[in-house]
Amino acid sequence: MRAYPLILTLIALGCGPQVNEVEQGSHQPPPDSRLRDLGEDKVDDGMSVSGLEGVLDEDVISTVITEHFDGFSYCFKKARAPYISGNVTLRFQVAQSGRVRQVHVERADLGSRVIEDCLLQTAKHLTFPKPRGDGDAYFLFPFDWNRRGRSLSQDEGQDWGYESMRASQGLIDACRDKHSFQAPFHLTIYVGRSGRLLSAGFHSKDYASEVFASCIVTALNEVQFPNPGDRVIKYHALLEKLTYKN
């Protein structure tokens, strides 16, 4: 089976300077993220990805994802704002039947839960060939969206939104307690005029239910952020239990 290029343009949308691209990257996790927490004993260099006792070759993964480009591309069409841009990496767990047992957002700086959730719903319905070996197979699959839109927002450091996030601790903890999730997680947030939340995305290395992620993003709508004037601010925050204290 033919191996696909490591960088492949999936679809181009729009026209003129607003052309958006969804790009597929390598399925190989970086050296510092080799799924050690899943007990993986081997990640083949190049053409296969291993998990526990299950193995799916990279070209097999590419083929299945490529066959469903239309579904994934539809998700990115949900980005109504030209400044929404960045990466989303999905972590798959594929059962011996070839069905997706579990998938979640492992890493992301896109800042759109709407897109993230659509990608997850699409990914859940994929069917892969049976992994080699006797166990489930694990792999990461990254997408890159709208590189040309990255100049339309301005990144700010942790201090910029610290007080706002500290003030939201009660809302965050309520979601944690309701959905029994106490692990660290990351947020990517876009803030516009008057400190209004424009869009937000969620990711965590620990599996988090979609309802918990949605609870967090919904809670952010009640948070007042600093007023950036006419700019759009892209803000990244790592939230750990009891991070924000009086």
User: What integer pLDDT is reported at residue 158 of this predicted model?
Assistant: 87
- Helices within 98-209 (DSSP H only): 113-124, 162-167, 169-179
Given 92, 122, 151, which residue is the final one in a domain? 151
CA distance 164 to 27: 36
**Total Cβ atoms within 10 A of residue 32:** 6
User: What integer pLDDT is reported at residue 33 of this predicted model?
Assistant: 32
- Give yes or no: residues 80 and 161 share one domain: no
User: What integer pLDDT is reported at residue 130 of this predicted model?
Assistant: 94
- Give yes or no: residues 41 and 66 share one domain: yes
Let me know if residue 212 belongs to a domain: yes
CA distance 82 to 189: 15
Let me know if residue 246 belongs to a domain: no
User: What integer pLDDT is reported at residue 241 of this predicted model?
Assistant: 75
Domain that holds residue 189: 154-239
Let me know if residue 196 belongs to a domain: yes
User: What integer pLDDT is reported at residue 208 of this predicted model?
Assistant: 93
For the stretch 76-104, pLDDT in tens is 998 889 999 999 999 999 999 999 999 99
**pTM (two decimals):** 0.77
**Tokens 């704002």 — which residue?**
81
Domains in the chain: how many in total? 2
- Give yes or no: residues 143 and 158 share one domain: no
Q: With the C-alpha atoms ordered 224, 225, 231, 235, is the resulting torsion angle positive or negative?
A: negative
Let me know if residue 161 belongs to a domain: yes
- Give yes or no: residues 147 and 158 share one domain: no
- Give yes or no: residues 173 and 117 share one domain: no
User: What integer pLDDT is reported at residue 242 of this predicted model?
Assistant: 55
Let me know if residue 177 belongs to a domain: yes
Q: Give residues with Cβ within 8 angstroms of 215, minimum separation 6.
A: 175, 178, 179
User: What integer pLDDT is reported at residue 246 of this predicted model?
Assistant: 47
- Give yes or no: residues 164 and 101 share one domain: no
Residues of the chain below pLDDT 70: 1-52, 242-246
SS3 state of residue 233:
strand
- Give yes or no: residues 37 and 118 share one domain: yes
